[in-house]
Amino acid sequence: MGTVRRQMLLTMLKFFDLAVMIASFLLAALPAMYESGLSVSEFFSMRIKVQNFALFMALLIIWHIILVSFSLYESRRLVTRESDIMDTLSATTLCTLAVGAAAMLFHIRLVGAAFIVVMWGASSTVIMLSRLILRYFLHHIRRHGHNLRHVLVVGTNPRAVQFARRIESRPELGYRVIGFADVNWPGLNGIEGLSGKRLVCDLRGIADFVRNTVVDEILIALPLRSFYGQAAEIAALCEEQGIVVRFLPRIFNLRKARSTAEDLAGDPLLTLSTGPLDGWPVFVKRAIDLAASTALLLVLSPLLLMTALLIKLTSPGPVLFRQKRLGLNKRQFQICKFRTMVPDAEQRIGELEDLNEVSGPVFKIKNDPRLTPVGKFLRSTSIDELPQLVNVLKGDMSLVGPRPLPLRDCDGLEQDWHRRRFSVRPGITCLWQVNGRSSIPFEKWMELDMQYIDEWSLWLDFKILAGTIPAVLKGSGAA
3-state DSSP assignment of residue 384: helix
Question: Which range among 249-258, 306-315, 346-355 has the greatest average pLDDT?
Answer: 306-315
* Alpha carbons 425 and 397: distance in angstroms, whole number: 6
Kindly list the structural domains of the chain, giving each domain's residue range(s) and its CATH number in brackets, ordered by start: 3-143 (no CATH), 149-250 (3.40.50.720), 280-474 (no CATH)
* DSSP codes, 56-114: HHHHHHHHHHHHHHTTTTS--TTS-HHHHHHHHHHHHHHHHHHHHHHHHHHT-TT--HH
Is the separation of the CB atoms in 135 and 76 below 8 Å? yes
Report, as an integer, the average pLDDT of 220-224: 84
* Alpha carbons 230 and 181: distance in angstroms, whole number: 12
- pLDDT over 80 at 336, yes or no: yes
Report, as an integer, the average pLDDT of 205-223: 89
* Alpha carbons 106 and 55: distance in angstroms, whole number: 9
* Alpha carbons 224 and 374: distance in angstroms, whole number: 63
Summarize pLDDT for 168-196 with one digit per residue, the tens.
888 888 888 998 998 877 766 656 555 45
pLDDT number for residue 420:
86
* Alpha carbons 339 and 321: distance in angstroms, whole number: 5
pLDDT number for residue 360:
67
pLDDT number for residue 477:
46
Higher pLDDT, 293 or 411: 293
pLDDT number for residue 151:
92
Summarize pLDDT for 57-77 with one digit per residue, the tens.
889 999 999 999 888 888 778
- pLDDT over 90 at 343, yes or no: no
Residue 391, C-beta contacts closer than 8 angstroms, at least 6 positions apart:
333, 335, 336, 397
Give the residue among 407, 441, 443, 438 at the shortest CA–CA distance from 422: 407
Phi and psi, residue 44, nearest 5°: -80, -15
* DSSP codes, 24-57: HHHHHHHHHHHHTT--HHHHHTSPPPHHHHHHHH
pLDDT number for residue 222:
86
**Radius of gyration of the CA atoms of the chain, in A:** 30
Q: At what angle do helices 280-299 and 81-106 cross, to 10 degrees?
A: 60
Residue 104, C-beta contacts closer than 8 angstroms, at least 6 positions apart:
none
User: If pLDDT is split at 50, 70 and 90, which confidence band does 152 have?
Assistant: very high
CA distance to 153, 179, 180, 188, 375, per residue, from 200 (Å): 10, 6, 6, 12, 75
pLDDT number for residue 476:
53
Is the separation of the CB atoms in 151 and 216 below 8 Å? yes
pLDDT number for residue 479:
47
Summarize pLDDT for 374-431 with one digit per residue, the tens.
988 888 888 999 999 999 999 999 999 999 988 888 888 878 888 888 888 999 998 8
pLDDT number for residue 127:
94
Summary mean pLDDT of the chain: 83
* DSSP codes, 133-155: HHHHHHHHHHHTT-S-EEEEEE-
Report, as an integer, the average pLDDT of 267-278: 67
Higher pLDDT, 232 or 470: 232
Summarize pLDDT for 83-117 with one digit per residue, the tens.
888 889 989 999 999 988 888 888 777 788 888 89
* Alpha carbons 430 and 402: distance in angstroms, whole number: 6
pLDDT number for residue 6:
72
3-state DSSP assignment of residue 358: coil
